[in-house]
């Protein structure tokens, strides 16, 4: 059985093209994610970010944990980000749960190394719009959590294509 998913549409308005051009076609995209984005009666819950335009490469990803994911009897919580097929592709499953003395917040969690030319869309259809999947895995149902805030970042680069 697939993990339940919640979705958010990414609205890339007209301000983005100017930013892409000013930064050598690169842009750092961020999304603040709260514990209640994963409000499902399941231990593994997805939060999908939809509508990234085609022709966008990912150069890196990272997470800044502002408030640890806790509450509801949780004993562990891991966050990952990637594609719908491989939700750990950009950020491997990493703990966002705190036990006494393990860490203080905010904490930066570095994502996986990206191969140059990795598109948000698939390699077979790099011009297709893409979905980025974030996933939270907890040892209790995610709707029992009472705290947790993180900022998810991706460094993206727009590409141009020559069509014949």
pLDDT in tens, 43-87: 999 999 988 888 888 888 888 888 899 999 999 999 999 988 899
Q: Are 147 and 69 in contact (CB under 8 A)?
A: yes
**Is residue 104 scored above 70 in pLDDT?**
no
Nearest to 32 by CA among 149, 155, 157: 149
CA-only gyration radius of the chain, Å: 16
Calpha distance 98→20 (Å, rounded): 37
Average pLDDT, the chain: 80
Query: In terms of pLDDT, which residue wins out, 73 or 118?
Result: 73
**Is residue 101 scored above 50 in pLDDT?**
no
Q: What pLDDT score was predicted for residue 125?
A: 78
* Contact partners, residue 6, CB within 8 Å, separation at least 6: 37, 38, 39, 40, 45, 46, 47, 48
2 falls within a domain? no
87 falls within a domain? yes
Q: Are 97 and 103 in contact (CB under 8 A)?
A: no
Alpha carbon of 101 to those of 18, 66, 98, 108: distances in Å? Answer: 45, 16, 8, 17
Which residues face 45 on adjacent strands? Answer: 136
73 falls within a domain? yes
Q: What CATH number is attached to the domain comprising 128?
A: 2.60.120
Query: In terms of pLDDT, which residue wins out, 18 or 153?
Result: 153
76 falls within a domain? yes
13 falls within a domain? no
Q: What pLDDT score was predicted for residue 100?
A: 43
164 falls within a domain? no
Q: Are 133 and 102 in contact (CB under 8 A)?
A: no
Q: Are 69 and 96 in contact (CB under 8 A)?
A: yes
**Is residue 110 scored above 80 in pLDDT?**
no
State the total domains in the chain. 1
Q: Which domain holds residue 57?
A: 19-158
8 falls within a domain? no
Residues 7-32 pLDDT 10s: 555 555 444 554 455 566 778 888 99
């Amino acid at each position: 059985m697939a993990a339940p998913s919640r979705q958010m549409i990414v609205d890339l308005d007209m301000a983005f093209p100017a930013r892409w051009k000013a930064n050598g076609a690169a842009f750092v995209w961020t999304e603040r994610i709260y514990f209640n984005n994963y409000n499902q009666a399941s231990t593994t819950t997805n939060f999908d970010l939809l509508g990234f335009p085609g022709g966008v490469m990912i150069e890196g990803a990272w997470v800044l944990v502002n408030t640890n994911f806790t509450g509801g009897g949780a004993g562990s919580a891991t966050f990952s980000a990637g594609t719908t097929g491989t939700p750990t592709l950009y950020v491997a499953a990493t703990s966002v749960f705190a036990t006494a003395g393990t860490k203080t917040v905010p904490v930066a969690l570095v994502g996986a190394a990206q191969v140059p030319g990795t598109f948000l869309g698939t390699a077979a259809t790099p011009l297709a719009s893409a979905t980025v999947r974030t996933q939270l895995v907890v040892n209790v149902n995610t709707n029992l959590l009472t705290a947790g805030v993180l900022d998810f970042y991706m460094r993206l680069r727009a590409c141009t294509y020559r069509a014949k």
